[in-house]
Amino acid sequence: MSSSPTRAPASAPPESGVIGGLSTLDRFLPVWIGVAMVAGLLLGRAVPGLNDALDSVRIGDVSLPIALGLLLMMYPVLAKVRYDRLGTVTGDKRLLVSSLVLNWVVGPALMFALAWIFLPDLPAYRTGLIIVGLARCIAMVLIWNDLACGNREAAAVLVAINSIFQVVAFGALGWFYLQVLPGWLGLSQSALQVSAWDIAGYVLIFLGIPLAAGYLSRKLGERAKGRDWYESRFLPRVGPLALYGLLFTVVILFALQGDTITSQPGDVARIALPLLAYFAVMWGGSFLAGRAIGLPYDRTTTLAFTAAGNNFELAIAVAVGVFGVASGQALAGVVGPLIEVPVLVALVYVSLWGRRLFTKEPVHA
């Protein structure tokens, strides 16, 4: 991103065009995403052996280039967070309780239901989708939230909470939704063996590193030069790294998985249908829930995106580690972000349009 999304003046009517306030680079993000997807597909086909080379160095079960792209993508957003405001978020019980319920009760249950409704005859893909539903988002959601003018401090807090719950609850929920609940319903069962320590290490790397870097940047930058310099000079310089990291990640992801996707278009379409339903229901329901309980626009947006997004990196890593790189479960994990990225980009614009439902609110810088 060339800069953070431009915030509309508090006095401006919702119809004045918040979308028009985005920078040119941000406004055409769907175009850049599309170009990155095509570039990744072409790159993977044009360079023999590229897939093996990109995938040969890994952090855990995640390709190193993807890991670097994620770290690069998350740092600028976390550097923008005003950490001295986090107390105002932790005191908002409506936001915190709603987020926990949506992420750890509604989300996994909805994905379980959709996986069985759409894929009753494809157990491997069904299991992969259920794993995607268990992996709550801690990375790309920061990008979507920032583009949609959500509350950065709230996003940082909810992402941290999701990270903690991910370590504690992922394995237990996997056991419940793949073995216990199907047994109660008379459905076929699957097993998921995943270590809480592996998940903790993953969270430490992919959230801990950029979070520490963002916090130290603000702390040391403001101490040395002041907040005005930090926000008017430093942040605009590092801001574009988030978009570059996102596009780099998309290119690498498509280069690595393009052959699998293009060789099985029918299967990809079957997996895509429940994913599309999931993102629409989770985001729309969460946005309406935030509005119904009286949250302001910026926190409602943050609630919606943190509930709708999924941690595809963790889902892919678990599917590959447990079932193998060529498994149907791994393919379902790969299709997840390929559907999620364009859909949530579109929902950024829906969110900005929906801002007209909220009137006379203060706008957070």
Q: 298, 147 in Cβ contact below 8 A?
A: no
- pLDDT of residue 7 exceeding 60, the answer is no
- pLDDT of the residue at 154: 92
Least confident of 14-23, 120-129, 184-193, 354-363: 14-23
Share of the chain above pLDDT 90, in %: 33
Give the tens place of pLDDT for each residue, 232-250.
999 889 888 878 887 887 7
Which neighbouring-strand residues pair with 310?
Answer: 136
Q: Which amino acid is at 49?
A: G
Give the tens place of pLDDT for each residue, 71-129.
888 788 788 888 888 888 888 999 999 999 999 999 999 999 999 999 999 999 999 99
Which one is predicted more confidently, 9 or 62?
62
At which residue do the structure tokens 């800069």 appear? 3
Burial zone of 240 (CB within 10 Å; 0-12 exposed, 13-18 middle, 19+ buried): middle
Q: Domain residue spans in the chain?
A: 16-355
Residues 361 and 347: their CA atoms lie apart, in Å, by 21
* Other CB atoms within 10 Å distance of the CB of residue 234: 16
3-state secondary structure of 312: helix
- pLDDT of residue 362 exceeding 60, the answer is no
Give the tens place of pLDDT for each residue, 297-335.
999 999 999 999 888 777 877 887 778 766 788 888 878
Helix and strand totals (H; E) in the chain: 20, 2
- pLDDT of the residue at 10: 38
Q: 73, 245 in Cβ contact below 8 A?
A: yes
CATH architecture of 16-355: Up-down Bundle (1.20)
At which residue do the structure tokens 């003018």 appear? 149
Q: Which amino acid is at 36?
A: A
SS (H, E, C) 129-176: HHHHHHCECCCCHHHHHHHCCCCHHHHHHHHHHHHHHHHHHHHHHHHH
Average pLDDT over residues 268-277: 94
> What number of CA atoms fall less than 13 Å from residue 267's CA on the CB side?
22
Two structure tokens written together for 10: 């508090």
> What number of CA atoms fall less than 13 Å from residue 252's CA on the CB side?
20
Give the tens place of pLDDT for each residue, 26-41.
667 778 878 888 888 8
Give the tens place of pLDDT for each residue, 150-208.
998 999 889 888 888 887 888 889 889 998 999 899 988 887 776 777 777 777 777 78
Entry pTM:
0.77
Computed over every residue of the chain, the mean pLDDT equals 82
At which residue do the structure tokens 């941000």 appear? 26
